[in-house]
Structure 1
Amino acid sequence: MFAKFFNSYKDGNLILQIVTGMMLGAIVGFVAFKTGSESAKQIVNTISILGDLFVGALKAVAPVLVFVLVLFAVSVKHVKSSSKGFKNVITYYIIGTLGASFIAVGASFLFPVELSLKGVEAVSSTAPQALSQILKTILFKIVDNPINAIATGNYIGILAWAIAGGIALRQASSETKNFISNISDATTKIVRFIIRLAPFGIFGIVAFSVYDSGGSSLLEYAKLLAVLVGVMFFVALIINPLIAFIALRKNPYPLVFTCLKESGITAFFTRSSAANIPVNLNLCKKLKLKEEIYSVSIPLGAAMNMAGAAITISVLALAAVNSVEHVQISFANAFLLSVISAVGACGASGVPGGSLMLIPLACSLFNIPNDIAMQVVAVGVAIGVIQDSVETALNSSSDVLFTAVASMKDER
């Protein structure tokens, strides 16, 4: 009986299973919220462990997976980062992030949002104060200790060491290369097992999220959310497909919807581009893309392809500007904000809420005091249940989309 159920689950449609887990989690969370009893709270907290375990497993395996796959790709497959396909991926990442930032600034002018910052508790975390500080941080991440980079999820450092190690091992013996290949296969099998557990993990995540918020905490910031989510949907359904169409000269929407469905849904709930790397790598393999491209572009995208983060930084920074009197916005400042948001987004960590701490950097362009900017960050935290989820879904699904476009174009 159990074996039959296990085989049925293993061979079932993963997306359908995820949606089922999401619906069951929403029902359990809503019922527990309405009940309001201590026992209901304990039940939801217990169920939420499933979500914590799933996200924790993804975050644990992702750094090792990236290091092993990139090392294997560079040493055995002789990946050349200067190849035309890889250059195209980087180009699409840059265009997508910049385009998203410009659209966000334009939407903020068309639909200005003002926030009542009085009484909002200021966030005490430290935020970067200058663009040079972000660039400096990125450079130091590159030269991080490889063991520390894997332990802390520093994907820029992991990529640097994996590429360097792969180049150094190109002249290694065939036995060494076979060993690396076997390690890569073993790591991939572990990832596949974890991905099959996604329905249970998402069940736990959704149950806790619905119970914790109850939906009431988002009503006050409905207009801000509408602008944020509206821009993200516009980029996902108009701008990204336009980029894909220009590159491939064919209907991009089947590919776009596949990426949104199989990458975006999982990313929506994990709220972590880094944790979604194994899911994206698995999807790229399913789409039969070039491994020498996606094995590097996917982890790189989790670090630098941040269209959603650029949107969040731009919209919230301009919301802060609209909320402070006597602050004038010129076209030059708006353009500079777009560029700073895009560059700053590349320095955002691939973890839940990673883009929020870059908001003070954008606010500094308009001489907005840091304490005011940090209160806007607090607003971002309050709406993060939806904002950060949609942002991550856009970021992560775009990684696969642009990688697929570059891979398909390279095959022509």
Structure 2
Amino acid sequence: MTKKMNLGLIPKIIAAIILGVLIGKFTPEAVVRIFVTFGSIFGNFLGFIIPLIIIGFVAAGIAELGSGAGKLLGITVFIAYGFTLISGFFGFSVGKMLLPSIVENSSLTNISSQAKDLAPYFTVKIPAMMEVTTALIFAFLLGLGISATQSKTLKSIADEFQNIISKTIAKIIIPLLPLYILGIFANMTFTGKATTVFSVFWKVFIIIIACHFIMISLQFTLGCILNKKNVFKCLKIQVKGYLTALGTQSSAATIPVNLECSEKIGITKGIREFVIPLGATIHMSGSTITITMCAMAVTMLNNKPVDLASFSGFIAMLGVSLVAAPGVPGGCVMAALGVLKSILGFSEPMLGLMIALYIAQDSFGTACNISGDQAVAMIVDKISKGMKKEEKSEEKLSA
């Protein structure tokens, strides 16, 4: 028996981009419009499922966090969300300094001013069941309500619905993504926009990866200072976890290796076994940097303003929307589609471009996420030890 070769998502995305460029360059308009028609239908389906993704993952994620309520849970969530916010604003600051010159120096600055996109042969309207903002509020209320009431029935329903959405992403959306991206790049090549995108985004990716390394270094430095550890030694230990995440593209799949790294770093057993798996779900520093900077670049390419007010709200909501993001490659950008659309006003083509650009280097964001989990664990470990000392002091005083 011969083994069936199964290409990973990134090779498929790269192949789709190359094919899209070739189709857009060397085939007639009639052929390109076939792929544009598929992209239009798929894009409408994405618009339909975005609110359901938000409800499925945000509600279940919040409910899951609340089920183990306690001081350490609250502290861990606070630190993880804090790191995510800091990472988002760090990415925004770097992007504000460097991206304008990159976009302005491209040969064709504004892709929205170039030739209009080809129209599909026909469209299939698939209206969403609710607005994205409505879905977010409903997800918050449902998740917090389940956490407060500890309803096993509602918790089970939320988990099952999350499972349905996860399977929809894994079995329908992810397999069809390469064809969708092929259509996007065929359209962009035919209308002359692909050159601009390629000339901008290879530079953006270099900046993003550099930001990842800076953020990991800062997080580890803080954790090591608090615990009086050698930061270079700890970073060297974490290389194994980073490379594993780079290869698997999955925070969940990297948990066993990350726990091993955590043990070598010297984090208390109970803390590492609690924080590392939880951090894989709630700490998204690398993904937040990537999504924020890609969103800024796409916004600039479409000649839209990049202002602190709108991106502040976007980053704050992004940290919540990525909680319990689907455990599939590109899951974070799928969970972010709602806030990209509702807060930044992204159109369907802009969302499609975001998906392609994010997934092309998703593994680097994942590797940054799981590396930062170690820093979160180190800080929580230090706080936990401090709390135990206080408890012992109180016991001595009461005795």
TM value normalised by structure 1: 0.54
AA aligned to 2:211 is V
> CA RMSD of the aligned region, Å?
4.1
Shift of 1:392: 0.6
AA aligned to 2:81 is I
More deviation, 125-134/250-259: 125-134
When residues 323 and 81 of structure 1 are mapped into structure 2, their CA distance, relative to the original with a 3 A threshold, is: same
2:254 counterpart residue number: 276
Could you tell me how far apart the structure 2 residues matched to 1:47 and 1:348 are?
24
AA aligned to 1:130 is V
2:237 counterpart residue number: 258
Q: Does 1:243 align with 2:222?
A: yes
When residues 274 and 406 of structure 1 are mapped into structure 2, their CA distance, relative to the original with a 3 A threshold, is: same
1:134-182 Cα deviation digits (max 9, x unpaired)? 4644745974439966994999xxxxxxxxxxxxxxxxxxxxxxxxxxx
Shift of 1:330: 3.3
Q: Does 1:225 align with 2:201?
A: no
2:367 counterpart residue number: 393
Which one of 317, 321, 328 corresponds to residue 305 of structure 2?
328
AA aligned to 2:222 is I
Do the aligned partners of 2:88 and 2:285 also contact (CA within 8 Å) in 1? yes
Could you tell me how far apart the structure 2 residues matched to 1:102 and 1:121 are?
37
Could you tell me how far apart the structure 1 residues matched to 2:127 and 2:222 are?
36
Could you tell me how far apart the structure 1 residues matched to 2:94 and 2:86 are?
12
AA aligned to 2:82 is I
1:296 counterpart residue number: 274
Shift of 1:103: 0.7
When residues 246 and 352 of structure 1 are mapped into structure 2, their CA distance, relative to the original with a 3 A threshold, is: same
AA aligned to 2:156 is N
Shift of 1:359: 4.1
Shift of 1:102: 0.4
1:99 counterpart residue number: 86
Could you tell me how far apart the structure 2 residues matched to 1:222 and 1:320 are?
13
Could you tell me how far apart the structure 2 residues matched to 1:147 and 1:328 are?
38
Shift of 1:365: 2.0
2:132 counterpart residue number: 130
1:373 counterpart residue number: 350
Structure 1, gaps ≥5 residues long:
1-41, 50-78, 156-216
Shift of 1:332: 2.1
1:254-286 Cα deviation digits (max 9, x unpaired)? 223322x12111011100112222222333344
More deviation, 291-300/391-400: 291-300
2:291 is paired with a residue whose SS is helix
Could you tell me how far apart the structure 2 residues matched to 1:397 and 1:153 are?
30
1:170-198 Cα deviation digits (max 9, x unpaired)? xxxxxxxxxxxxxxxxxxxxxxxxxxxxx
Could you tell me how far apart the structure 2 residues matched to 1:295 and 1:150 are?
27
Could you tell me how far apart the structure 1 residues matched to 2:127 and 2:269 are?
39
Q: Does 1:82 align with 2:70?
A: yes
Do the aligned partners of 1:273 and 1:392 also contact (CA within 8 Å) in 2? yes
When residues 120 and 353 of structure 1 are mapped into structure 2, their CA distance, relative to the original with a 3 A threshold, is: farther
Shift of 1:354: 1.2
Do the aligned partners of 1:134 and 1:347 also contact (CA within 8 Å) in 2? no
Could you tell me how far apart the structure 1 residues matched to 2:74 and 2:246 are?
28
Could you tell me how far apart the structure 1 residues matched to 2:139 and 2:310 are?
25
Do the aligned partners of 2:275 and 2:376 also contact (CA within 8 Å) in 1? no
AA aligned to 2:210 is G
- What is the number of equivalent residue pairs in this alignment? 271
AA aligned to 2:234 is L
Do the aligned partners of 2:226 and 2:382 also contact (CA within 8 Å) in 1? no
Q: Does 1:361 align with 2:349?
A: no
Could you tell me how far apart the structure 2 residues matched to 1:120 and 1:87 are?
50
AA aligned to 2:235 is V
Do the aligned partners of 2:300 and 2:306 also contact (CA within 8 Å) in 1? no
Task: Calculate percent identity across the aligned residue pairs.
Answer: 20
AA aligned to 1:404 is M
Do the aligned partners of 1:320 and 1:363 also contact (CA within 8 Å) in 2? no
When residues 372 and 298 of structure 1 are mapped into structure 2, their CA distance, relative to the original with a 3 A threshold, is: same
Do the aligned partners of 2:222 and 2:375 also contact (CA within 8 Å) in 1? no
1:16-46 Cα deviation digits (max 9, x unpaired)? xxxxxxxxxxxxxxxxxxxxxxxxxx99x64
Q: Does 1:402 align with 2:390?
A: no
TM value normalised by structure 2: 0.56
2:96 counterpart residue number: 109
When residues 400 and 331 of structure 1 are mapped into structure 2, their CA distance, relative to the original with a 3 A threshold, is: closer
Do the aligned partners of 1:303 and 1:350 also contact (CA within 8 Å) in 2? no
2:253 is paired with a residue whose SS is coil
Do the aligned partners of 2:295 and 2:354 also contact (CA within 8 Å) in 1? no
Which one of 256, 267, 292 corresponds to residue 245 of structure 2?
267
1:28-77 Cα deviation digits (max 9, x unpaired)? xxxxxxxxxxxxxx99x64969xxxxxxxxxxxxxxxxxxxxxxxxxxxx
Do the aligned partners of 2:92 and 2:292 also contact (CA within 8 Å) in 1? yes
